[in-house]
């Protein structure tokens, strides 16, 4: 199965599932695939918006339903939980909008926000605003990366496998370094 067929068959599903969780890498790749014509940029960004919004709403509800008992099961995250709660007290709206941009808080953040009993309507509205900023920003980076390669006169079709592997390698390396530094 070719890369083009794989993207055509599963690209939007991968964007949706990736956006439910921490979907930056998959969204950058999807933006690049959209530049190459394998996916629609509009449909990719819409799928990421829906997946990102829904994922954070689910984690918010988990925090609302099981709050502190759920957070007590994550003792290694105690510092981050306390930090999110402190920031939430001072900067309510910016924290809710920006939590998806904070490394290591994409899943934990909405759980903490739910546990802090932020009103559902407030979280839902600010969550959608955050997703509406996040999806085109992150997906657009992948698209612009493809554009930049075109400006360099690189025949992207010939090196697209290498480019995708490079994007994945950079994302994995970045993630591993951040986790190593946090320990």
What is the per-residue pLDDT across 52-69, written as a single tens digit (0 to 9) for each? 999 999 999 999 998 888
183 Cα distance to chain centroid: 22
Domain ranges across the chain: 3-182
- Please spell the DSSP secondary structure of the chain, one letter per residue: --HHHHHHHHHHHHHHHHHHS--HHHHHHHHHHHHTTSS-HHHHHHHHHHHHHHHHHHHHHHHHHHHHHHHHT-GGGHHHHHHHHHHHHH-HHHHHHHGGGSTT-TTHHHHHHHHTT--HHHHHHHHHHHHHHHHHHHHHHHHHHHHHHHHTT--HHHHHHHHHHHHHHHHHHHHHHHHHHH-
Query: How many angstroms separate the CA atoms of 118 and 161, rounded?
Result: 44
Residue 75 pLDDT > 60: yes
pLDDT reported for residue 28: 87
Residue 32 pLDDT > 90: no
Q: Return mean pLDDT, the chain.
A: 83
Higher pLDDT residue, 60 or 9?
60
* Span 82-137, pLDDT tens digits: 888 888 888 889 989 998 888 777 888 898 899 888 899 999 999 999 999 999 99
At 46, the pLDDT band (50, 70, 90 cuts) reads very high
At 77, the pLDDT band (50, 70, 90 cuts) reads confident
Residue 174 pLDDT > 80: no
Residue 156 pLDDT > 80: no
pLDDT reported for residue 56: 94
At 25, the pLDDT band (50, 70, 90 cuts) reads confident
């Amino acid at each position: 199965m070719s890369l083009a067929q794989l993207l055509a068959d599963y690209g939007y599903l991968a964007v949706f599932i990736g956006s439910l969780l921490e979907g930056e890498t998959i969204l950058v790749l999807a933006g690049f695939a959209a530049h190459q014509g394998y996916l629609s940029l509009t449909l990719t960004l819409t799928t990421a918006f829906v997946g990102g919004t829904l994922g954070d709403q689910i984690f918010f509800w988990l925090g609302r339903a099981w709050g502190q008992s759920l957070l007590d099961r994550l003792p290694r995250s105690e510092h981050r939980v306390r930090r999110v709660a402190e920031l939430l007290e001072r900067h309510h709206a910016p924290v809710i909008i920006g939590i998806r941009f904070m490394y290591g808080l994409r899943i934990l953040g909405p759980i903490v926000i739910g546990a802090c009993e932020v009103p559902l309507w407030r979280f839902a509205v600010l969550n959608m605003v955050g997703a509406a900023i996040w999806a085109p920003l992150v997906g657009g980076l992948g698209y612009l990366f493809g554009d930049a390669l075109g400006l360099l006169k690189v025949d992207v079709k010939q090196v697209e496998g290498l480019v995708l592997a490079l994007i994945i390698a950079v994302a994995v390396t970045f993630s591993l370094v951040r986790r190593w530094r946090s320990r």
